[in-house]
Amino acid sequence: MSSKTKMECCVIGTGYVGLVTGACLADLGHSVTCADRDKEKIESLSRGRVLIFEAGLEAIVERNVASRNLGFTSDIRRAIASCEFIFITVDTPPDAEGKADLANVDSVAREIAAAINGYKVIINKSTVPVGSTRRVQRIIEEAMEEYHEFDVVSNPEFLREGTAVSDFLKPARIVIGSDSQKAIMRITGLYRRIDAPLLVTDPVSAEMIKYASNAFLATKVSYINAIANICEAVGADVREVSLGMGYDERIGFEFLKAGPGFGGSCFPKDCRALLAISGDSGYDFNLLEGVLEVNQEQQERVVAKVERALGGLDGKNIGVLGLAFKANTDDIRESPAVNVTRMLLEKGARVTAYDPQAMDNARQALPGAGFAEDPYQAVQGADAMVLLTEWDEFKWLDYGRARELMESPLIVDARNCLDPVVLRKLGFHYEGVGR
């Protein structure tokens, strides 16, 4: 990339979104400094250690650190002063009412006000309530000692854990919410090497797009889970139903997999935050309340299935396969797998769990559980195997061997990833979701 099109970017907050954004912008040829007040994190990143498990990320970080397109610092003000583009990618954890807590965003806004030394495009990628772009604008205006021109832009991020790098570089769309023509032109230049539809809109609409998208996808998941529950009662197969629905382009195949409910750091939190936003606006969004209710019940239903099949859980040995909130991540935040395991433990079961990536994170969350080194060890002597995360390696286990190791042959496959015909031939009693 020529030095004319190479842009100086500073990314504040090196969590999931921040690190992926910084690494990918560097890979697009820009000069990027990732800044974080957590000195330990910065030190370990500077040594090339990426602490999150994300396919392809470490290689991109290494490559761009080596080419000097990517650097790390805990000196946030200096990073701000040396760049035109400032990305805000900090945490907005929920407060007691489920609303996004903006303390971290506000504190970055004050840092920007203290360090501003020329025109800056301030780009917010954190998921924030509607009106936050203007709030950041106001904080900087009020705190700035010497006047400098700047624009604040909402640019929500839609990447998924597990596919974050390709989601960033090949997004379905880029949303830019701004009232400033100058900022829109600058940020369009920044993304010019990404081939995706560009939607330019006002900041409040951009902020709504993020919540509305996540809540809609969560609604799709709860919808198909509710349909799965009816399928179980009437003898239909929800996977066939999803397929038949998905061919209709107005519906689509995505996010129609029935399972133990949705989890992760986004869907549950963003649904609750949108409920708070809608409540504050005077609208009773009971559709979305239903989505969260179905999601909670879906996890309880998995526990009830095991309990029913075993005639109680007290003292039973359960082998749990999968703890991450979905496959290809080590993340257990609001993981249905962890919630189900916790409920099994509360009902007196002895649980031995295995997950290829998430066990270190799960140990603290599940103090009562045992942890196995491999799936076979997890089901040794078990009265039931409960499959909770759809890791590929669980699809190709030697189930004949598992059957021999288990005390009684029950499999509850909460992700519908196994073949009931094969398992029944091996002597298992198989229960899936909605089939």
Query: Rounded to the nearest 5°, which phi and psi values hold at 263?
Result: -145, -155
User: Which of 9, 10, 24, 266 is an active site residue?
Assistant: 266
Nearer to ligand UGA, 145 or 254 (CB): 254
Nearer to ligand UGA, 164 or 384 (CB): 164
**In this structure, are residues 85 and 7 in contact, taking their beta carbons and an 8 Å threshold?**
yes
Range 246-282 burial, b when 16+ CB lie within 10 A, else e: eeeeeeeeebbbbbbbbbbbbbbbbbbbbbbbbeeee
**In this structure, are residues 247 and 281 in contact, taking their beta carbons and an 8 Å threshold?**
no
**In this structure, are residues 410 and 384 in contact, taking their beta carbons and an 8 Å threshold?**
yes
- Chain residues that interact with ligand UGA, rule: CB under 6 A: 127, 157-161, 214, 217, 221, 255-257, 259, 262-264, 266-267, 325-326
Residue 119 CB, shortest distance to ligand UGA, in Å, is 29
Residue 223 CB, shortest distance to ligand UGA, in Å, is 10
Helices 203-234/132-143 angle, 10° precision: 150
Tell me if residue 24 is catalytic: no
Residue 255 CB, shortest distance to ligand UGA, in Å, is 4
Nearer to ligand UGA, 278 or 295 (CB): 295
To 10 degrees, the CA torsion angle through 23, 28, 29, 34?
Answer: -20
Neighbour order of strands in the sheet with 317-321: 370-371, 350-354, 317-321, 384-387, 410-413, 429-431
Residue 257 CB, shortest distance to ligand UGA, in Å, is 3
Residue 290 tokens read as: 């239903």
Q: How far apart are CA 317 and CA 314, in angstroms?
A: 9
Residue 407 CB, shortest distance to ligand UGA, in Å, is 29
Q: How far apart are CA 172 and CA 163, in angstroms?
A: 13
Residue 349 CB, shortest distance to ligand UGA, in Å, is 23
Nearer to ligand UGA, 27 or 161 (CB): 161
Q: How far apart are CA 327 and CA 336, in angstroms?
A: 12
Residue 157 CB, shortest distance to ligand UGA, in Å, is 6
Lookup result for tokens 């969560």: 218
Nearest in space to 14 (alpha carbons), one of 67, 47, 48, 50: 50
* Residue 122 CB neighbour total at 10 angstroms: 24
**Residues noted as catalytic:** 266
